[in-house]
Every structure is written in structure tokens, then in C-alpha cells.
Amino acid sequence: MTKGLIFDLDGVIVDTANYHYIAWKKLSNEIGIDFDKEFNHLLKGISRIESLELILSHGNKSDVYSADEKKSLTETKNKYYLELLNNITPKDILPGVLDLIEQANNNHIPCAIASASENAPTILEKLGIKHYFKAIVDPKTLKKGKPDPEIFLRAAEFIHIPPHLCIGFEDSIAGIQSIKQAGMYAIGVTADGPLPEADLAVHSLTEIDIHSLF
């Protein structure tokens, strides 16, 4: 019987991938690198600095910048991203999410957030749903990012539920691997592409029957 729900944010609760894309593209173009939407898929679920490293490698500029310069580039990208996030409202919550977290709360099933995004608390505030989550893992406190299970294990610890009684929701391949390695049941949200390693794949959370989970 399920006792806890652990959600990724970008791509599961809200579709911010396009904002990340616009912000990274602006920053990349300023340093003479271009990439398309297909390349952008590779940036899903991975951290800000790992995203920059992939972009630099794509543009054959891996060795051009010092660590300090890279940090400054990620800060500039985040500034562009935060400007775009100003447009976000509760209308941007993806279909089925609100119903699921409301019902979980009504049934005393704790919910947590396991997102690689350092902006997760800000985004949840803007969506007006932060209060539904008992815990939000701070990715800065982790030793390893997805696909390592650490982020989902930490979320389970915060809500005091053993991992095998948790369900994880993810839209990225690295995220599904993280959930499976944590020993949880993995539900893949496949709006953007297949997730073969998921235990159950859905196009959106409207397909989740809350009663079949509890």
C-alpha cells in the first residue's frame, strides 16, 4: 500500500523546459554556441552546471572557461530564467496534478518534491501549491544528482516513509533511474518522449487513478 508520493517538478508539475531552453539559448548565443530543441532534451533533469558543461562541449568550448567564469555563466542563465518565470501562474500547473496532490493530502498521504532545480520553492510558490508538500529536497545539499538515488531517498527520509512504500513521478530518463535505484515504484510522464524503464508510463497525471495507488 502506497504511503508517500515523491514528485519531480520540471516536466511533471509544470512545463518549464521551454523557459530553460530560451534562457540557455540566449546565454549560449552570447558566447557563440547554438543548439536546437532536440539537444535541449539532453538538459532535462540534470543540474545547472552539468547543463552548461554539455552546452560547452557541444560548442567545442569545454576548455575555454575557468570554474569562476562557468559559475558566472550559470548565474547569467539563471537571471534570464527567473525573468521568464515571472510569467508563471497557477494556470501553468500540468493537467491532473492538482487533483492528485489534493486527494493525497485529503488521504493523509505525504507528498514531497525531488527536483534538480534550485528554483523549485519559488516555482511552487508562484503556482500556489507549495503548501501541499511536506518536504522539498534542496539539490545543493546532495552529493550526487540524478540518476543517483540520493535525491529520492532523501525525500522519503523527510516524509518518514520507507522507499518501497513510495511512488516517484518523473519525466526524464535519469530521474526514472534515480527512482528505481531508490527501490520505489516509478511512474513516467512521457509527454516528451518514451521512458522504457518506468513501471507505469502515462501521458499526463490525469491518467492516474488515485484509488488504485492507495
| Contact residue for ligand B16 among 34, 83, 99, 118 (CB under 6 A) | 118
Give the whole-angstrom CA distance, residue 40 versus residue 32: 17
Residue selected from 19, 25, 51, 161 as contacting ligand B16 according to rule CB under 6 A: 51
In sequence order, which residues have a C-beta less than 8 Å from that of residue 116 and are 6 or more positions away? 10, 45, 46, 47, 139, 145, 146, 151
Nearest to 171 by CA among 147, 193, 200: 193
Annotated binding-site residue? 146:
yes
Q: For residue 196, what is its C-alpha cell?
A: 522504457
Question: Is 127 labelled a binding residue?
Answer: no
One symbol per residue from 131 to 170: x for binding ligand B16 (CB under 6 A), - otherwise; what is it?
----------------------------------------
Instruction: Find the shortest distance in angstroms from Cβ 119 to ligand B16.
Output: 4
CB of 201 or CB of 214, closer to ligand B16 = 201
Q: Which of residues 78-97 bind ligand B16 (CB under 6 A)?
A: 78
Nearer to ligand B16, 51 or 177 (CB): 51
Query: Which of 42, 26, 23, 46 shows the shortest CA–CA distance to 34?
Result: 26
Q: What is the dihedral of CA 73, 63, 22, 141, to 10 degrees?
A: -60
190 binds, among Mg ion, ligand B16, none (CB under 5 to 8 A by kind): none
The one segment of 43-51, 55-63, 129-137, 179-187 that binds ligand B16 by CB under 6 A: 43-51
Among 43, 73, 137, 182, binds ligand B16 (CB under 6 A): 43
Residue closer to ligand B16 by CB (options 28, 115) is: 115
Q: Kindly identify the residues of this chain, within the stretch 31-90, that bind Mg ion according to CB under 5 A.
A: 45
What is the grid cell recorded at 195?
521512458
Q: Phi and psi at residue 6, in whole multiples of 5°?
A: -125, 120
- To the query of whether residue 192 is one of the catalytic residues in this protein, the response is no
Q: How far apart are CA 183 and CA 95, in angstroms?
A: 27
160 by Cβ neighbours in 10 Å (0-12 / 13-18 / 19+) ranks as exposed
The Cα-based distances of 8 to 3, 35, 56, 79, 188 in angstroms read: 17, 25, 26, 22, 10
- Nearer of residues 1 and 5 to ligand B16, judged by Cβ: 5
Which residues carry a binding-site annotation for Mg(2+)? 8, 10, 170-171
Residues that bind Mg ion (CB under 5 A): 8, 10-11, 45, 171-172
Q: Give the active site residues.
A: 8, 10
